[in-house]
Amino acid sequence: MTLELHEVAVAPKGAGPLFPPITLTVRPGEVATVMGPSGIGKSTLLDAVGAHLAHGFTLSGSIRLDGRDLLPLPPETRRVGLMFQEAVLFPHLSVGDNLAFGLARSVRGRAARRAAVEAALDRAGLADLYDRDPATLSGGQRSRAALMRTLLAEPRALLLDEPFSKLDATLRGDLRAFTFTHIRSRKISALLVTHDPADVEATGGSVIELTEWAPRGSTRECPHHTRRRNPDPERGETP
């Protein structure tokens, strides 16, 4: 799925935009990285795509997923999945029921749904944990369970907000590889916020750097966000 942002800007009510308007296209299977200093608005930009923007913000520009205007749609119909630094599971549901909650409605019937969840647990190295209380999982197991819950919803776009930063190095590498492979094979378009160069390296996708918006009349220069694109092997481009 292609995610297109055109002149997207977010502004706290009564104030100017956090960063100069962003225009970018994320191709199917691509992970585009959003970088920039703390507080510049990286998470806020993802919130805008996922329809989770806080009331204190106004949004301008357009956001399309496979040509469809996302802005009028509520979060539950956008088919945009989220993955955060803190993996949160519902505490009152078993691990398996947490994943079943995310499972796409197209999987029908109790037995088929159970089998789909068990297969997902297996793929994430969580076999036999269907009935476990989420509170008893390790941090890494919780991250993997939350990721599988997100992926089982069959999102068309994914928003990844520092999703691997709390994991140890080995687990981070494993989960990153698993996530990016899934994104490529399902042709999902993904936006990643990270401070970790190893994440950026692994994406092979575009990098967007958000820079501060200098208000009109300011004597400072008004820097614009910059975009660099990694080579696309499918277009015959080489590094």
When asked if residue 42 is in the footprint of ligand ATP (CB under 6 A), the reply is yes
When asked if residue 215 is in the footprint of ligand ATP (CB under 6 A), the reply is no
The two three-digit tokens of residue 134, written as one number: 């989420």
In the complex with ligand ATP, the residue whose CB is nearer, 18 or 82, is: 18
DSSP assignment string, 160-215:
EESTTTTS-HHHHHHHHHHHHHHHHHHT-EEEEE-S-HHHHHHH-S-EEE--PPPP
**Out of 16, 56, 197, 223, the residue judged to bind ligand ATP by CB under 6 A:** 56
Distance in angstroms (rounded) separating the CA atoms of residues 233 and 239: 9
Cβ–Cβ under 8 Å, residues 143 and 167: yes
How far apart are CB 35 and ligand ATP at their closest, in Å? 9
When asked if residue 155 is in the footprint of ligand ATP (CB under 6 A), the reply is no
When asked if residue 139 is in the footprint of ligand ATP (CB under 6 A), the reply is no
Q: What angle, 0 to 180 degrees and rounded to 10, lies between the N-to-C axes of helices 169-186 and 139-152? A: 10
Q: How far is CA 74 from CA 7, 48, 77, 80, in A?
A: 21, 11, 6, 10
How far apart are CB 221 and ligand ATP at their closest, in Å? 21
When asked if residue 20 is in the footprint of ligand ATP (CB under 6 A), the reply is no
How far apart are CB 56 and ligand ATP at their closest, in Å? 3
How far apart are CB 55 and ligand ATP at their closest, in Å? 7
When asked if residue 38 is in the footprint of ligand ATP (CB under 6 A), the reply is yes
When asked if residue 41 is in the footprint of ligand ATP (CB under 6 A), the reply is yes
- What residues does 11 pair with on adjacent strands? 58
When asked if residue 29 is in the footprint of ligand ATP (CB under 6 A), the reply is no
Q: Which residue is nearest to ligand ATP (CB)?
A: 56
When asked if residue 26 is in the footprint of ligand ATP (CB under 6 A), the reply is no
Residue 123 burial class via C-beta count within 10 angstroms: exposed 0-12, middle 13-18, buried 19 and up: middle
Residues near ligand ATP (CB under 6 A) are 12, 18, 36, 38-44, 54, 56
